[in-house]
Amino acid sequence: MSADFFFQDVRLFDPSSGIDIQGSLLVRDGLIADFGASPGRPENVKIVTADGAILCPGLVDMRAALGEPGFEYRETIHSAAAAAAAGGITTLAALPDTMPAIDDPALVRLLRSRGEETGSLTILPYGAVTRGCRGDELAELGLLREAGAVAFTDGGRAVGSSRLMRTALSYARGFGARIIQHPEDPSLARGAVATEGALATRLGLPSIPACAEALLVARDIRLAELTGGAVHFAHVSTAEALALIRVAKDKGIAVTCDTAPPYFDLNETAIGVFRTYAKLSPPLRAESDRLAVQAGLADGTIDAVASDHQPRDVDDKRLPFALASPGGSGLATLLGITLAQFHNGAITLAQAIGLLTSRPAALLGIDAGRIARGLPADLCLFHPEAIWQVVAGELPGKAQNTPFDGRALEGRVLGTWKAGRRVFG
């Protein structure tokens, strides 16, 4: 059950509404009832105070794997919900490359209901573009959309067939949906585990050229232009791809993109001497690409920051680098790593919070990620200067495979509320 709360003397911050004031906010019956510099404080409400804290909308994570169904040994919906709450995330779009894949309307409805069962997290399922996410036959996109799929993707697998991608973009356009692509040429990526260059050569690792990302981005931009469909590129990680996206946006083509914290906080040197926690897909890039991603956050080319949460267990990672599963956990660290870009002066606080709230919400077509009277009280209270350290093995949730192990961060979540119910802190 939700309780009534009064957040007293906090910094209310919502870049989508231009709100940045020192004030208070009242939650009644799970909804935002009132807020402002000096709203009246009613009786019989719980008072929440936190000196120096910021109250912003609950974060909207537009890309995460949940482990369920099929990979519960890595993560479950409930363990992911606990990690999300600790990270200030109240809404999450779930990838469909599970076992079975989310290519059936019943599975879309099931994931939505399982999210409701947590009481702390709205789960928005993506539908698979192709049956089984195998890339050879189009899924029933219309039926998946009717069941509640917010967009379509094959998750960590690229739609490699140009013909299939063209058809998918055309169909999705008919009901106003996006195709979300993992931008990596499949033939160049096959067997690769690191970005091509001196480091991969020195370590003897099978590698993929960074241009493999741009090759698929260029193709899909052209197909979006041809069909009038909307394509979204996930976890963009290279300067070349971002340059293509920037030009396409200037031409008015329906192209958007997101990135994930590893691609603006880390570079390829993080793999060290075969450090499997830093084995990701796409792989970590050169420093010049990291700087280009950072610039893309600042100039608006990048539309959102997603956790790109890919849970793995010990047995997935305790293997030779070439054999270990790619992926990093990212729910609990999403806010802190993004705020590091604010603290180092690369982006403003408004940009950082917008990339995590209203901008991904707009891409998903949902009314979330903002503070407004009458909306559900999905809220995140954090202190922007509170210092903490990421320690694998001590993170909330089941997945501990963080590429940020040992990283000190400024910006810690103090509390998370879902529809007026405190779910963390």
Cα–Cα dist 44/242, whole Å:
52
Q: Which residue has the tokens 């000196």?
A: 51
pLDDT at 40: 76
Chain segment 129-140, per-residue pLDDT in tens: 999 999 999 999
Is 254 inside any structural domain? yes
Measured in whole angstroms, how far is the alpha carbon of residue 390 from the centre of its chain? 18
Is 250 inside any structural domain? yes
Question: Phi, psi (5° rounding) for residue 281?
Answer: -135, 115
- Are the beta carbons of 339 and 410 closer than 8 angstroms? yes
12 membership: H or E segment, kind and range: strand 5-14
Chain segment 155-201, per-residue pLDDT in tens: 999 999 999 999 999 999 999 999 999 999 999 999 999 999 999 99
Is 371 inside any structural domain? no
Which of 61, 265, 303, 308 is an active site residue?
Answer: 308
pLDDT at 41: 81
pLDDT band at 382 (very low <50, low <70, confident <90, very high): very high
pLDDT at 186: 96
- Are 306 and 257 in the same domain? yes
Structure-block tokens of residue 65: 């794997």
- What average pLDDT score do residues 253-261 get? 98
pLDDT at 1: 58
- Are 328 and 413 in the same domain? no
For the chain, the 3-state helix, strand and coil shares in percent, each to the nearest 5, are 35, 25, 45
- Over its C-alpha atoms, the chain yields an Rg (Å, rounded) of 21
- Are 292 and 390 in the same domain? no
- Are 22 and 91 in the same domain? no
pLDDT at 331: 98
Cα–Cα dist 64/313, whole Å:
16
Chain segment 221-234, per-residue pLDDT in tens: 999 999 999 999 99
Structure-block tokens of residue 338: 């993004």
- What average pLDDT score do residues 44-73 get? 95
pLDDT at 226: 98
- What average pLDDT score do residues 251-258 get? 98
Q: Which of 335, 364, 393 corresponds to the end of one domain?
A: 364
Is 370 inside any structural domain? no
Name every residue whose Cβ is closer than 8 Å to that of residue 274 and which is 6 or more positions away in sequence. 203, 320, 321
Cα–Cα dist 125/105, whole Å:
10
- Are 104 and 34 in the same domain? no
pLDDT band at 266 (very low <50, low <70, confident <90, very high): very high
Name every residue whose Cβ is closer than 8 Å to that of residue 258 and which is 6 or more positions away in sequence. 62, 63, 232, 233, 234, 235, 236, 302, 303, 304, 305, 306, 360, 363
- Are 296 and 355 in the same domain? yes
- What average pLDDT score do residues 52-78 get? 97
- Are the beta carbons of 243 and 290 closer than 8 angstroms? no
Residue 40's CATH number: 2.30.40.10
Could you write out the DSSP letters of every residue in 313-370?
-HHHHSS-TTTSPP-B--TTTHHHHHHHHHHTTSS-HHHHHHHHTHHHHHHHT-S-SS
Q: Which of 364, 384, 411 corresponds to the end of one domain?
A: 364
- Are 129 and 262 in the same domain? yes
Is 417 inside any structural domain? yes
- Are the beta carbons of 2 and 379 closer than 8 angstroms? no
- Are 88 and 219 in the same domain? yes
- Are 415 and 392 in the same domain? yes
DSSP 223: H
**The pLDDT of residue 3 is above 80:** no
* Residue-number span of the structural domain to which 383 is assigned: 5-54+376-424
- Are the beta carbons of 320 and 341 closer than 8 angstroms? no
- Are 259 and 381 in the same domain? no
**The pLDDT of residue 300 is above 90:** yes
- Are 358 and 387 in the same domain? no
Claim: this prediction has a pTM higher than 0.85:
yes
Is 131 inside any structural domain? yes
Count the domains in the chain. 2
Q: Which of 364, 391, 409 corresponds to the end of one domain?
A: 364
Burial of 82 from C-beta contacts in 10 A (0-12 / 13-18 / 19+): buried
Is residue 367 part of the annotated active site? The answer reads no
pLDDT at 38: 81
Is 354 inside any structural domain? yes
Q: How many CB atoms lie within 10 A of CB 340?
A: 22
**The pLDDT of residue 2 is above 80:** no
pLDDT at 343: 98
Cα–Cα dist 354/196, whole Å:
33
Q: How many CB atoms lie within 10 A of CB 34?
A: 14
Residue 187's CATH number: 3.20.20.140
**The pLDDT of residue 107 is above 80:** yes
- Are the beta carbons of 260 and 235 closer than 8 angstroms? yes
* Average pLDDT of the chain to the nearest whole number: 97
Is 77 inside any structural domain? yes
- Are 28 and 65 in the same domain? no
DSSP 132: G
